[in-house]
Structure formats: C-alpha cells, structure tokens
Amino acid sequence: MKFLEYTHLDRINDFLNHLNLGERTIKGCLEAYSCKHTGTDKRLSLSLENEILDYLGKSLDTDSSSPAEFLLSRSSRKTLIYLVLALYHMYPDYDFSAVRAHQFFTEESWDTFKQIFDTYMFEASKEWTEVNEDSSLLESLYRALDEVVKLSECEIYSYNPDCDADPFLEKGAIWSFVFFFYNRKQKRVVSFHFCCLRWG
C-alpha cells in the first residue's frame, strides 16, 4: 500500500498533534493509503488470505461454530485484508492476525461516527473553531475525507481490539477510537485514530 499525502488531512493532523487541554491532551492522526500493493504487500496479502482460508477450512471441517459470514465472500475477505494491511503500515512492528482482527472490526455508519466524534471531540472542536472560524472541525474532517475517499461511496469500520491486541492504546489513555474509511471503487483507505491522554 502506498501512503498518500493530502494537504487537508495534514491541516487536521497538525491541529490534532498533541492538542493540550490542561490536564488532558487530545491526539489524532489521519493516514490515507492506496490499496495498490507495494513492496512486501503482495506476499503479506497472500499470507493473510491463506490464514483466512485455513481458518474457514478448519471451521467447516469441525462444524463447531459457523464462521463469520463475511469471511466466506471473496470481496469481503479482500476488504479485511486491505484493512489489516493498513494496520501493518501504521504499526509495522506489530504482528496482526487477519482471523483475530476480523473480530475487532465493526461496520459503522457516518451517523454513528459523527455521534462518537461529537461526544468525545467536543472540546477539540471548540478549540478548532477559535482558530478556524470558517468551519467546524467535523465539517473540515468531512470535506478532507470526502476529497480522499468520497464518503458517499465509503464503507466505514471501527476497530476495537482487546487491550492485549491494541497497538493504538497509549499510556495514560482515557479513551481511544480507530476508524477506517474504505472506498472499494477507488481502492483507497483512510485511517483515523483519535484519543485522549491524561497527564500527571
């Protein structure tokens, strides 16, 4: 996958890079990727596909519990692989398992994302408005995401791993969210990780 640079994403990243709110700090990072394979992606993608197929084969053989439906569809497996590849690019030293990761991804709507964003990023949004009177933080985020991945065509996923499988969880984190915006037609994905840290 190739990292893509966009000025609108950079503007929001600059603002959310350690936003000091006194005893707490908000951090956020948007990263855009093309799903076109580069470097070791092809080998890793094949390895993830084989891992999923092995899991499906064993699940069907033992007939213990029916596997997640989306793993049975080739296009859904491809989506999962792109999301896991994005995780690998964000955290290259962490070993992600596709079979395990699929438990932590949940498809979301823009309304769900907006509700979480409005609730948890309320103070950050107030700070943004003081500096940028032209639009709210959410509006700016919407425009930036729309430029990169056309939100009307996007699938949105949240990533909520167990604590022991969460490379995003930082020391002193009060809360933390990770969302992925995936455009199947454009073959692009944008990750958005935002969290609140307590200091002292």
CATH number at residue 122: 3.40.1000.50
Question: How confident is the model over 61-77, as pLDDT tens digits?
Answer: 555 555 556 577 788 88
Distance (Å, whole) CA 164 – CA 28:
21
Any idea how long the chain is?
200
Q: Structural domain of residue 129, as residue ranges?
A: 2-198
Question: How confident is the model over 11-40, as pLDDT tens digits?
Answer: 999 999 989 988 899 999 999 999 988 878
pTM (2 decimals)?
A: 0.88
Distance (Å, whole) CA 40 – CA 49:
14
SS3 152: helix
Say how many domains are in the chain.
1
Query: Phi, psi at residue 11, to the nearest 5°?
Result: -60, -45
Query: pLDDT class for 7, splitting at 50, 70, 90?
Result: very high
